[in-house]
Every structure is written in C-alpha cells, then in structure tokens.
Amino acid sequence: MRKIAMLGSGFIGRFYAESIHGQRGRDRVVAIYARREESAKKFANDYGCSIWGTDMEAVIANPEVDMVCIALPNNIHEAAVMLCAKHKKAVVSTKPLGRNADEALRMMKAVEEAGIFAGYLEDLCYTPKFLKALESVKNGALGRILWAKSRETHPGPHSDWFWDKEQAGGGCMLDLGCHCVEIARNFIGKDVRPVEVMCWAATQVKPIDAEDHAIALVKYENGAIGQFEVSWTFRGGMDLRDEVMGTEGTIWINNFLRTGFEMFTTGKGADYVAEKAESTTGWLFPVGDEVNDLGYNHMFTDMFNAADQGREPAETFYDGYVVNAILDAAYRSAETKQWEPVNLPVWRGREGLTQESTLVDYDEEFYLIKEEVTHDGRHKVILKDKQTGRISERDLT
C-alpha cells in the first residue's frame, strides 16, 4: 500500500486522487497540501485525508507519507521536488516536469542524487489505445517508423495560473505539446536522439502573453519526423488524436472527442459531460470512463508497481527532461523562424544513428518503387534503373 501526499487540490489533483483510489484500490491519498486552508480542508474531507495543511514541507516530511504526488502549478514543481529529495520521499510529478529544460535537469539530478524513486506523470502515454498501438509498433507491425503525429486541442485550461506566462512557463505548447512530444518519442523510439525543431506559434485569440496555438516538426537522428498540433482556441471539446506511419503500415487513434459514444439532450438533466466539453445541450460526446480513457489508471498502476519492484516506470524524470529540451527548441524556433537544435547535455540513448536506406532491390538492374493492381486488373510494378536512374513500369500479368 502506498501512502501518498497530494500536493495541489485543484482539477488535476482530484483526477489523480480518483484514479489512485480506483484501480489498485489499496493505495490511498492520506495527506493534502494546498496553498489555501479552505481548499486543503475540502480536499481532505472529500478524499478522506487524515493529514492536511498549507505548509508544503511539513506535509511532505510527515512520517505517514511514503510517496508524494505533485499536482501543482509549473513554477512550484522544482521546489516540491527539492523537498522530496531532502526528505527522501518517492515522488511522481505531473507534466510538464519543468518550465524549461534547465529546471527539469536540476530536478532529475536531485532525485537521482537522493536515490529516491521518481516518475513522470505523462498520462496520455498510458491510454488503453496508446498502449495497444505502442505494442503493435514495438512488435514491428508498422515496420520502420517514419512519422508520428499527435494533436491535442481544446478551448483552454481550467485554472488561472495556466494563463500566466511566468507561472506556467509558456502557453498551449508547454501545456499540451509535452503530451504530444512524448507520444511521438515513444512511437519513434525514446533512444533515438531528437536533433532539431521547426515551429510556428502565435497568440491568435486569447488576451494573454503566451501562445494559444502552435504547430511543430521535430527531426530525429534516424530520419524520422515527429509532429505536434496544439491549441487553446479549438471549439467543440477536447480533441486528442495520434497518427503513426511506418514503412509497413499506419495507425490512427482518436482518444477522446469522437469515440463512438454520442448522446443528444435538451440539457434539462445534464451536468458534467467530459473534460473540456463546451456544452450540456444538443449532441454530446461523453466518455465511457474518463479517468481510465485518459490513462490515469494505467499510469498510477505502473508508477506504484515500479516503486514496489525497484524498477523505473515507463515514464521517468529523464523523459520529462528530454521533452522540456525539445519544447525549448520549439520556443526558440517560433522566434527565429528557423530550425533550432535540441540541446541535450545529458543524453542516454543511442549515438550516431543515420537515416536508413529507402532503396528496395527488385533485381540486379532495378530498384522497386511500387507494386500494385490497377482498376482494370493489371498487376504491375514501377521500377528505377540502378545505373541510369530512369523510371519505368512493367506489367506482370
């Protein structure tokens, strides 16, 4: 049984608590830290916490606590992690790990030097559909991965601090892009170095200093491309979609907005529908099991099992650091309008990868470009002459 101190009583802290008290069942949130006393008391009452307070260090240091879950604004993550390291408490932190790679690297080094368990709570890398897709990719069903795209868009986050660039560290790109970057890293291979980023970002709608819409390409050392699309300006709910393309196949995933559950209501009996839903009337798209479908159950099960077994979880502080480094490059690119390098002074993956050859031999004279059956029943191939480079086609039947 894990006895957890939740740091943060807001939207994500409550999502986390419901998941923790759900799938494994035996784990409990026993303590809550909140910045306001009334928030701490309410959370403690709602989730049965025997310990509550507004002194973060006192809650972390309480001897009843053996793991700390950080569900705080981005600008407080580092201070919380440093206290966990000081008091030798296992820690799991919400995304993004830091506001930038420098913060993330300090946090990673602190937990490693303290010798404590640390996990990165990247829930969208634990959704049931993602886990199934990743298994297929790792088993080779798609061949060599060429391109991985992830999209997360919605009308904007719930709490005020997200909209403050200083507290949050950025806008939708840091808030949502961290998910998308890590999804693509998993599909391409987390041991493949991200090399450079090209990004467009702008503030199109919201009266804020940070960006509310961004699109980026991430180039990897093996030639693969990651792509993300993120927005706080999308209307119609929360759209979570992933696409993966390989030499032997393709996967499309719709995680949230249109998943086969559709409902019409006049609104007289409706209340909460799903996260980021914009309406409670008309045609709606509820989610069957929101906590599970968003990956929280599988995420905490992996975190707690990893801590119990003395192994690393699927998502670590190192992963959070790499994600922050990629997003740092994206922010630089959005300013310079150029490809910007990903700065990773600590890299633990493979070195010196090159793009694999795309040439497929047809015979000694030709490369194969494509083989197909046409609408009129012909079986043909399109070939490239190895010596002259001339392109030709040949009927096989």
Percent over 90 (pLDDT), the chain = 82
Q: How many CA atoms lie within 13 A of 256 on its CB side?
A: 25
The DSSP bridge partners found for residue 226 are 148, 218
The domains spanning 3-122 and 125-295+312-341 adopt the same CATH topology: no
Please state the CATH superfamily assignment of the domain spanning residues 3-122 in this structure.
Answer: NAD(P)-binding Rossmann-like Domain (3.40.50.720)
List, for residues 26-85, the tens digit of each pLDDT value: 899 999 999 999 999 999 999 999 999 999 999 999 999 999 999 999 999 999 999 999
51-53 and 28-33 strand pairing: parallel
Q: Identify the sign of the CA torsion 386, 387, 391, 392.
A: negative
| Residue-level pLDDT at 274 | 64
Summarised one tens digit per residue, pLDDT across range 303-316 is 999 999 999 999 99
Model confidence at 193: pLDDT above 70: yes
d(CA 171, CA 152): 13
pLDDT of residue 268: 72
**pLDDT per position as a tens digit, 258-273:** 777 887 878 776 566 6
Length of the chain, in residues: 397
Please answer whether residues 27 and 4 qualify as being in contact, where contact means their C-beta atoms are separated by less than 8 angstroms: yes
Residue 19 — left, alpha, or beta (φ > 0 → left; ψ -120 to 50 → alpha)? alpha
Listed residue (173, 13, 11, 5) closest to 96, CA to CA: 173
CA separation for the pair 152, 176 (Å, rounded): 6
Report yes or no: 158 and 11 within 8 Å, Cβ to Cβ. Answer: yes
CB atoms within 10 A of CB 55: 9
How far from 290 is each of 79, 126, 133, 258, 276, CA to CA, in Å? 30, 13, 19, 13, 12
Dig out the tokens for 58 from the structure.
């006192």
Pairing of the two strands 118-121 and 145-153: unpaired
Is pLDDT of 233 > 90?
yes
Burial of 135: CB neighbours in 10 Å, binned 0-12, 13-18, 19+: exposed
Q: Choose among 99, 232, 111: nearest CA to 169.
A: 99
CB count within 10 Å of CB 140 equals: 11
pLDDT of res. 356: 83
- The pLDDT assigned to 67 comes to 98
The predicted model scores a pTM of 0.92
Please give the Cα distance from 215 to 200 (Å, whole number).
Answer: 5
User: Does the structure show a pLDDT above 90 at 191?
Assistant: yes
Q: What is the pLDDT of residue 275?
A: 60
How much is the mean pLDDT over the chain? Answer: 93
Q: What is the topology classification, in CATH, of domain 125-295+312-341?
A: Dihydrodipicolinate Reductase; domain 2 (3.30.360)
Q: Binning pLDDT at 50, 70 and 90, where does residue 219 land?
A: very high
CA 1 – CA 81 distance, rounded (Å):
22
Where are the domains positioned within the chain?
Answer: 3-122, 125-295+312-341, 360-395
Peptide bond into 73 cis (omega under 30): no
